[in-house]
Structure 1
Amino acid sequence: MNREQLFLYVLLAIVTFSVFVVIRPFLEYVLLALLLAYVLFPLHVRLLESMSGRLASTRVAEMASALTLILASFVVLVLPILYILTAFLEDLRSISRGETDLQTALIERELAEVAGVDVDIQETAGQLTELLFSVFFQDVSHLIELTLHVSLGVALVLFLVFYLLLDGPALVAWLADASPLSPAVSSTLIDQIDRTTWGAVVGHAFAAVLQALIAGIGLYLAGISNVVFWTIVMMVLAFLPLIGVFMIWAPAAGYLFLIDETGAAIFLAVYGLTVVSFIDYYVRPIVIDKRARLNPAVILVGVFGGVYTLGFVGLFVGPILIGILVAIVETFRQEYRSSESAETKTSDDRVDTPTSSGISRLPRETQK
């Protein structure tokens, strides 16, 4: 390595670190934009095919397709979260005012008899409501700062997704061309990353939605009220393997038991342990491992680590990063270890070794 190359490498490291420091406050939004653009791109291609003949130019069709998908994804992602938060706060207010369908008096009596614990559910709900409002609205300056940060982050996500949908393939091609790896190895690595990422994202989401819907059917059959709300909550929690939907159907079964609905409680418990858990133990490994080749335990570690580090977006980014690590290792194993084995075998074949009869591999003229 000469002085110019060394200087360039040092400069590259300094600038890369500086860029990371600059984008660090919005790192989770940047990663979310990359994730959304990756998921939406196949839909963008299909929608672009249908729009190309109707609009004046290809660029206009690309922009129209990208804007349509961004608007649709924004509605799909934001509205359920707003609905969950609004409904949750309204339920807490209703419980604190005593205006609820929950049989709170019966639950309090059963808890006192079974566990020996005196609990005032109405008072507890009121205190929790006041705590939530104090956390979010007491510090006005913090609320303004949080609102500004989230607004800037959402705007950044929208702009990044838009331009990634338009120029994403060109960016991938540039990265592959700028990579020091050979074109064949770069192509293999990109294919490996694509397969593991798609399996971790789409397989993870498919399993979560399917499990939430099946668990919601169980809640409906057991007679739990407000099933739509709890199903949407479970769609979010189901991204946590093994323990996600359990956090909903298990307390629901306990609630039914406390209000003397023993048959419904037993049904929901058995349904959750068998039918709902079937998704975690069988369906989730199939839909994820088929493409991502990741063990569910690895997915769980990636989810918890990602959530702890990056918040909500870490639900996906954590497993994806582990999947990318697996893809890099798999590419190294396939490309370099196999080539080293082939070179070793070729060099061994070139060495003259005695045959079984003791005659060396020499030309016939020499042997005579």
Structure 2
Amino acid sequence: MLNNDRLLVQILLLGLLGASLWVLAPFVSALFWAAVLSFASWPLMRGLTRLLNGRQTAAAGLLTLGWIGLVAVPLVMLGFNLAEHVGEVVALFKGYQVTGLPPAPDWLVQIPLVGQSLLGFWQTIDQQGVAFFATLKPYLGQVGNWLLARSAQIGGGVLELALSLVLVFFFYRDGPRLAQFAHSLLDRLIGERAEHYLELVAGTVQRVVNGVIGTAAAQALLALIGFYIAGVPGALILGILTFVLSLIPMGPPLVWIPATAWLFTQGDYGFAVFLGIWGMFVISGVDNILKPYLISRGGNLPLVVVLLGVFGGILAFGFMGLFLGPTLLALAYSLLSDWVANKAPAPEPTLKQPPEDRLG
């Protein structure tokens, strides 16, 4: 017979849980990134707390200020620089409409197979500059709308990042209590396997963080090499910006594409083509190879599962899926492995009873 009081309490608890999730829904992404950031840098938090004689709040404040200086300040500087260069690009485009293109570079005609065709195309644009740019106006409007939409998304991401940097302070300060709460909750739900799955989630998230940071460092180094070869000024600053922007989707092109455009405006067409190819196939291309390898390294997941987790997670959840995808597949893979390994034992064969002694 149902206990009506207990059923009512369960319904009220479910309703309270649903209402709480509804309240937190607008902040899920910021909470997620704050949790990942604090988890990835927890060894720093532990060491800084020891250095400050156990003052956990002071250590959390210092680390949060460090993240603001490392992440937020370069993004604000990049936003101001992009705003300045937009005006320069617009003025350059209007100048081409009036005066036409500059003379074609000597190396253009020397390109095998297509050099003469490219030279003829360049001269055609130069001779029919006004008409050509007039035909481009509708497409430029579409490109402008696309850039406006991307700018709105980037602006929303920056605001979300700012909120994450505020929330990470509380994750640092209250981290041990939150970890104990998560352990107690899982222990209540799944019993003795709680420790195993907590270690599984922690290990997967740590490998994903290592993969993201390692890939960002590799992209920054490759970008720095490309900027030095092409002679772009401020190569070191641009390399640091590449590292910061590598932590978000499609971040590195926000650095090497403006640098390539700047080389074109200076007349360094050869280095501009080199940097464009280097950026597309080397700087941005390494992300699709190195990141899955680093995430799968040291874990018990096959590489194909990691690849599906990374790319499928991004398609399903956005950039959060970079962490959620591999973690969810790791949990599912571990659960299925446990289920297969702990299969029920085969029933013991029954012994035949000897026939009754009819004479007995």
Q: TM-score, normalised by structure 1?
A: 0.67
User: Is residue 280 from structure 1 mapped to residue 281 from structure 2 by the alignment?
Assistant: no
Deviation sequence 1:263-306 (CA, Å, 0-9, x none): 53565466557754673354323222215645345323433544
**1:187 — aligned with what?**
195
How many angstroms apart in 2 are the aligned matches of 1:182 and 1:36?
27
Deviations for 1:187-228, whole angstroms, at most 9, x for unmatched residues? 111111111111222311220232123123212202234535
2:349 aligned with 1:351, yes or no?
yes
The 8 Å contact of residues 30 and 157 in structure 1, kept in 2 or not, is answered as: no
| Contact 2:260-2:276 within 8 A present in 1 as well | yes
Whether contact under 8 Å (2:227, 2:275) holds in the other structure is yes
Given residue 21 of structure 2, which amino acid in structure 1 is its aligned partner? F
* Partner in structure 2 of residue 21 of structure 1: 22
For 2:100 and 2:232, locate their aligned partners in 1 and report how far apart those are by CA, in whole Å.
Answer: 16
Partner of 2:50: 49
Helix, strand or coil for the counterpart of 2:286?
helix
User: Is 2:94 the partner of 1:83?
Assistant: no
How far 1:40 sits from its partner (Å)? 2.7
CA contact (8 A) 1:106 1:258 kept: no
Cα distance between partner residues in 2 of 1:29 and 1:108: 48
List alignment gaps of at least 5 residues for structure 1: 53-57, 137-142, 308-314, 354-359, 363-368
Q: Which residue of structure 2 aligns with residue 70 of structure 1?
A: 64
- Secondary structure of the equivalent of 2:232? coil
Query: Is structure 2 residue 73 aligned with structure 1 residue 93?
Result: no
Give me the whole-angstrom Cα distance separating, in 2, the residues matched to 1:248 and 1:288.
25
**Could you say what secondary structure the match of 2:41 adopts?**
helix
Q: Write out aligned runs for 1:192-231 (5 A).
A: 192-228=200-236, 230-231=238-239
CA contact (8 A) 2:68 2:165 kept: no
What percentage of residue pairs aligned between the two structures are identical? 22
1:299 maps to 2:302: no
Shift of 1:249: 4.7
Distance 1:35 1:330 in 2: 22
The two structures, once aligned, show a CA RMSD in angstroms of: 4.4
Aligned length: 313
**Superposition deviation, residue 83 in structure 1:** 0.7
Residue 331 of structure 2 corresponds to residue 331 of structure 1: no
CA contact (8 A) 2:309 2:326 kept: no
**Cα distance per residue 1:91-122 (max 9 Å; x no partner):** 22344456xxx9x97867769727847349xx
* Kept after mapping to 2: 8 A contact 1:197/1:320: yes
Gapped regions of structure 2 (runs ≥ 5): 105-117, 355-360
Equivalent of residue 271 in structure 2, options 264, 270, 295: 264
Q: 2:164, 2:211 → 1: CA distance?
A: 27
In structure 2, distance between residues paired with 1:154 and 1:273: 29
CA distance in 2, matches of 1:190, 1:36: 17
Distance 1:281 1:31, change over 3 A: closer
Cα distance, 1:280–1:114 mapped onto 2, change above 3 Å: farther
Match of 2:358 in 1: none
Structure 1 position 321, deviation (Å):
1.5
Tell me the equivalent position of 1:113: 122
TM-score by length of 2: 0.68
Deviations 1:127-183 (A, max 9, x none): 97xx97xx99xxxxxx9xx9xx959x956852x433322332222222222334344
Cα distance in 1 for partners of 2:316, 2:37 equals 20
Q: Please report how far the alpha carbon of residue 39 of structure 1 lies from its aligned counterpart in structure 2 after TM superposition.
A: 2.2
Paired with 2:164 and 2:292, the residues of 1 have a C-alpha distance of 34
Q: Within 1, Cα distance between the matches of 2:159 and 2:277?
A: 42
AA aligned opposite 1:92:
V
Aligned residue for 2:34?
33
